[in-house]
């Protein structure tokens, strides 16, 4: 089976798809204690559409939006709530509506449990072991991109699969902008961690959105994109 490649993003249909697909899930809260969990997969349109389109991204598109997200049982204002669409994926969808970018959703070869607590425990163990979880659908190259937006939840610190991604490719000279969903931590130490992990890259201003509020924070997303020079 051939490796998936990043596919060209098609503009989201703002009405039908997002309203129908997200109405019941956007109000659900953050992923793991410090946000939600993740899974990434190649996507040609909205990140939430699990379509495995293998059309190679045109070289003219210089921005790549990469994210890892997890659905299932998630943290929600101290309790738990099931999400069909993970919080980071909701945020990635929102960003992909607003800019011209290719979208790549990372998927873990060993998917994280549906249980919130089991996922937290696994994440702690992976952090303690400095593990590099295997990516199920790696892309061949990021060479054609100048800017990479990197999204994930924050669980305690961050999912270690993001370090797997960072160490797989040459990011020399590229501009990295992190975005995260969280419970209480904000960006935490994401920028310091990414400075060490994305060797040779420039780490720019990041965006942190509380998972429970992600669907109501579009104006913050727009302001962040304007700040980093990505508004069309």
Higher-confidence residue of 36 and 164: namely 164
Q: In the structure, what pLDDT confidence band is assigned to residue 232 with cuts at 50, 70 and 90?
A: low
- Most distant CA atoms of the chain, gap in Å: 45
pLDDT (tens digit per residue) in 179-188: 999 888 888 8
Give backbone dihedrals phi and psi of 94, rounded to 5 degrees, phi first: -60, -45
- Enumerate domains of the chain plus CATH numbers: 16-227 (3.40.50.360)
Q: What is the dihedral of CA 78, 84, 88, 92, to 10 degrees?
A: -150
Average confidence score pLDDT of the chain: 79
Question: Given this model, what pLDDT does residue 28 score?
Answer: 36
Q: Alpha carbon of 209 to those of 33, 36, 71: distances in Å?
A: 14, 11, 17
Question: Given this model, what pLDDT does residue 181 score?
Answer: 95
> How many Å separate Cα 18 from the centre of its chain?
17
Strands (E), 36-174: 42-43, 63-67, 72-76, 79-83, 102-105, 147-153
158 has a pLDDT exceeding 70: yes
Question: Given this model, what pLDDT does residue 114 score?
Answer: 92
Nearest to 109 by CA among 48, 46, 50, 40: 40
Higher-confidence residue of 191 and 97: namely 97
Retrieve residue 231's tokens. 């508004």
218 has a pLDDT exceeding 60: yes
pLDDT (tens digit per residue) in 196-208: 999 999 999 999 9
With the C-alpha atoms ordered 197, 198, 204, 206, is the resulting torsion angle positive or negative? negative
């Amino acid at each position: 089976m051939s490796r998936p490649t990043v596919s060209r993003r098609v503009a989201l249909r703002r009405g039908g798809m997002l309203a129908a697909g997200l109405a019941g899930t956007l109000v659900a809260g953050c992923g793991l204690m410090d946000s939600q969990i993740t899974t990434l997969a190649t996507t040609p349109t909205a990140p939430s559409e699990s379509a495995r389109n293998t059309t190679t991204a045109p070289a003219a598109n210089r921005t790549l939006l990469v994210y890892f997200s997890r659905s299932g049982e998630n943290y929600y204002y101290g309790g738990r709530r099931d999400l069909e669409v993970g919080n980071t994926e909701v945020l990635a969808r929102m960003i992909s509506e607003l800019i011209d970018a290719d979208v790549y959703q990372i998927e873990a070869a060993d998917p994280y449990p549906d249980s919130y607590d089991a996922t937290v425990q696994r994440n702690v163990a992976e952090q303690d072991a400095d593990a590099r979880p295997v990516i199920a659908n790696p892309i061949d190259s990021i060479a054609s991109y100048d800017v990479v937006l990197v999204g994930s939840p924050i669980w305690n610190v961050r999912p270690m699969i993001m370090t797997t991604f960072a160490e797989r490719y040459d990011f020399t000279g590229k501009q990295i902008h992190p975005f995260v969903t969280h419970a209480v931590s904000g960006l935490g130490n994401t920028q310091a961690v990414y400075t060490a992990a994305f060797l040779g890259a420039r780490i720019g201003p990041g965006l942190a959105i509380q998972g429970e509020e992600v669907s109501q924070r579009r104006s913050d997303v727009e302001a962040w994109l304007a700040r980093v020079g990505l508004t069309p």
